[in-house]
Amino acid sequence: MSFKPSIKLTLVLFALALVFMRLGWWQIERKAEKEMLFEQFENAPVLSLSEAMKQEELFARVGVGGRYDTERHILLDNKIHNGRPGVHVLTPFILEDRTQILVNRGWLPLAADRRSLPQFDTDGRDRVISGILNRPSIGGKRLGEADIVKADGWPQLVTYLDIETVGEAMQVSLEPWLLQLDAGDDSGFEDRQWQAAVMAPEVHGAYALQWFSLAAAALVIWIILGVNNARSKQTRTQAGK
């Protein structure tokens, strides 16, 4: 079988194959990172809140006593649950030593026009809550201007969570952590099946397979075009005789 690939196509297709291979390996690396993160989540210790924050123990299972702030709530936008748009309700929890930490109480639906915010009640009685200690997600690349959190007019809808900005608006010093409320706590809302990250390791593995498949496809195309190019040249040579 004759094989005469075009130099130009060879350069283009091999460049594409290298790019696809690099993206595939990047997804493999991300998969390994996520596997470690999910393992850390599954094996996180049970600690007091003060110990967990002091040791910066991500995903620690903690229990705390105190009470909710009954009025000031942050509604974190763009949270999808069962195909429906909504928000995560973040409420300050005032600890017994008067320090405060934001508690993610779960998901509530949000009207499509964003003008009608969810209505919910929060009582201020003393209680003990438990949950998973986590760092606030910084999200992806931020588009548009930063959210402005005002000192009045609660609850407030935000696209990105900036705990320092929220604390300034509330005129309190919030701990730079989130407590993800346990699913069994009756002070929360829907969708509290917390996990280490939104995207599981298996998803990165599937993406890696797609990129490697594209790299293989580029090589197959190179071979096919090389064969066709050789046949075309052979046909022209025979026609010229």
What is d(CA 114, CA 12) in angstroms, rounded to the nearest whole number?
47
Better-predicted residue by pLDDT, 157 or 229: 157
Residue 197: pLDDT band with limits 50, 70, 90: confident
What is the number of other CB atoms lying within 10 angstroms of the CB of residue 3? 10
What is d(CA 210, CA 205) in angstroms, rounded to the nearest whole number?
9
Pick from 107, 106, 103, 155: nearest CA to 129? 103
Tens-place pLDDT, residues 84-132 = 999 999 999 999 888 999 999 999 999 877 778 888 989 999 999 999 9
| pTM score of the predicted model | 0.81
CB distance 45 to 60 below 8 Å: yes
Domain boundaries along the sequence of the chain: 7-37+201-240, 60-181
Tens-place pLDDT, residues 123-177 = 999 999 999 999 987 655 556 556 778 888 899 999 988 898 899 899 888 999 9
What the block records as the tokens of 114 is 């964003």
Residue 32's pLDDT is 96
